[in-house]
Amino acid sequence: MQRSLNLKNVVMKKKVNLLCLLFFLSFVNLHAQMSYYYKGQKVNLTLNRNYVHVIADDELLKSFDSNQLLQKFNIEQINNKQTQGIIKLKFKSTPVMQEYSEAVEFLKENKQVKYVLPFFERGDTLSPIGTSDIFYLKLKEEKDTTLLKKVAAQQNVQIIKQVPFMPLWCILSIRSSTLGNSVDATNYFYETGHFEEIDPAFMFNFSTNCANDPSFNQLWGLKNTSYQGIDIDFGTAASVTTTGNHWPLLGGMNRHLL
């Protein structure tokens, strides 16, 4: 009888271990093969394993040096008004995919960490681009705001505002939502079929000296220091056309990830 129970326990443990392995492999595969929609077509993304963005409580920074969870990272950028509470972390050494996934899961399990957001490759000679909690969505018609509110409520997505002078474009945030990052969020909204376009608001390296909008670092159609010539050169335009120093919040221009 005892031998039979032991055998059943061994079989059960093997099944549990197999399920855990399958879950882990599916997690790794999912994050290694992310994609987003551009003009109705899926564009594959290659995960960058050197960086992550973290949205976390201030207490996390206070305990950074003593927190064993964070010993794998260096702080590249501390949250400020330009990055809207996002901390940029860099792995001290480039991890293999399994190590990366485990580190991300450990971060997510920390109660002080609200979101862990991925970076993606842009080629060997270009710095990777990050993601945040912000993304953009274009309505098919202005009356679709009611539909947007309904779909957003289903995932606890915040509608921040409609873009001034571009009323079909809206700025949204995944904070408080179960959606993991801006890429997941844009895919979810686009796949409903209810909306015209989406934009994950990939984060490039902006110079913020020509605007006081806290979201300017994400508005890469206005000023793009990574891909010269594909923005509207907002900084130069501002210096020519304004006599003051205040600019309204503007929306992201939908640009393809080159």
Cβ 64 vs Cβ 74: under 8 Å: no
User: For residue 216, is it within any domain?
Assistant: no
Q: What is the pTM of this model?
A: 0.68
Helix pair angle (97-109, 2-32), 10° resolution: 100
> What CA–CA distance (Å, rounded) separates 228 from 170?
26
User: For residue 234, is it within any domain?
Assistant: no
Contacts of 54 (CB under 8 A, 6+ apart): 60, 86, 87, 88, 89, 107, 113, 115, 116, 117
pLDDT of residue 256: 33
Final residue of a structural domain among 199, 215, 250: 199
By C-alpha distance, which of 187, 194, 109, 105 is closest to 148?
194
User: For residue 224, is it within any domain?
Assistant: no
Pair (160, 188) in one structural domain: yes
Which band of pLDDT confidence, cut at 50, 70 and 90, is reported for residue 77?
confident
User: For residue 209, is it within any domain?
Assistant: no
User: For residue 249, is it within any domain?
Assistant: no
Pair (51, 113) in one structural domain: yes
Pair (105, 171) in one structural domain: no
Q: Is the pLDDT of residue 212 over 70?
A: no
What are 138's strand-pairing partners?
A: 169, 197
Q: Is the pLDDT of residue 63 over 60?
A: yes
pLDDT of residue 102: 93
Determine the structural domain holding residue 86 and report its residue range: 47-121
Pair (83, 114) in one structural domain: yes
What value does the mean pLDDT take over residues 57-85?
Answer: 69
Final residue of a structural domain among 121, 143, 165: 121
Number of domain units in the chain: 3
Check the CA dihedral 75-53-233-45 and report its sign: positive
